Homo-oligomer: A and B are copies of this chain.
Amino acid sequence: MELALLYSGGKDSSLAAALLDRFYDVRCVTGSFGLTDDWEHAERAAAEIGFPFERIELDRAVAEEAAERMIADGYPRNGIQRVHEHALETIAERDVDAIADGSRRDDRVPTVSRAQAQSLEDRHDVDYISPLSGFGRHAVDRLVEATFEVEQGPSEQVPKADYEDELRALIAEEHGEETVADVFPDHDQTYVRGRND
């Protein structure tokens, strides 16, 4: 069975790939608005853990809308959620049996409710799977440690391909770096460098 997994090169989506590998032909798929080349980090991480990779193009209008929302809110949550939903709708159009993402039980954003999951499945005739949604942060960290070689550091310095980088670039271009700093609080990111097992 063919499965398209929304993939950032980070530890959560990498662990999701490893979990699903037992049952599906997993392809790691990274959405990009064409604003930066950050998707290449995900391509490299997918190769390092041994999964096929595909870049898909997302709708630039959604990036603009999400950036405006983030600036209006003063925090990124709702904008990230909007982009994640758009990315799921986009991969659901692919000719696959299932789509998946790396969202965890303890994630505040992005989230996909049971009703949203059912709606995605019904409209696109595809299974939506969030394989980590039954795992808490501690369990994920232990499994990642046992499975991958991981690099950790501040968001700006760790190469990764979540939507954040492109939205930062878009906001910087249109509103300057100070606005980026206003919207995105400092936090650590992780990037998968290879397998341990």
Spell out A's residues near B (CB within 8 Å).
1, 18-19, 21-23, 97-98, 103, 105-106, 114, 117-118, 121, 127-136, 138-139, 142-143, 146-147
Contacts and interface: CB of A to CB of B under 8 A. Distances in A.
A23 B143 contact: yes
Contacts of A1: 142, 146
A133 B136 contact: no
A127 B141 CA distance: 11
A127 B138 contact: yes
Q: Which 3 A-B pairs have the closest CB atoms?
A: A130-B134, A133-B134, A127-B139
A98 B131 contact: no
User: Which among A1, A19, A127, A146 has the greatest number of chain B C-beta atoms within 10 A?
Assistant: A127
A105 B114 contact: yes
A147 B19 contact: no
Given A105-B117, A117-B105, A146-B23, A134 B129 contact: yes
A143 B129 CA distance: 12
Nearest to A24: B143
B121 A114 contact: no
Nearest to A125: B138
A166 B134 CA distance: 28
Contact of A19 (B22, B105, B143, B146): B22
User: Which among A18, A19, A103 has the greatest number of chain B C-beta atoms within 10 A?
Assistant: A19
Contacts of A128: 136
A121 B1 CA distance: 34
B136 A127 contact: yes
Contact of A98 (B18, B130, B139): B139
A104 to B, nearest CB: 10
A2 to B, nearest CB: 12
Contacts of A21: 22
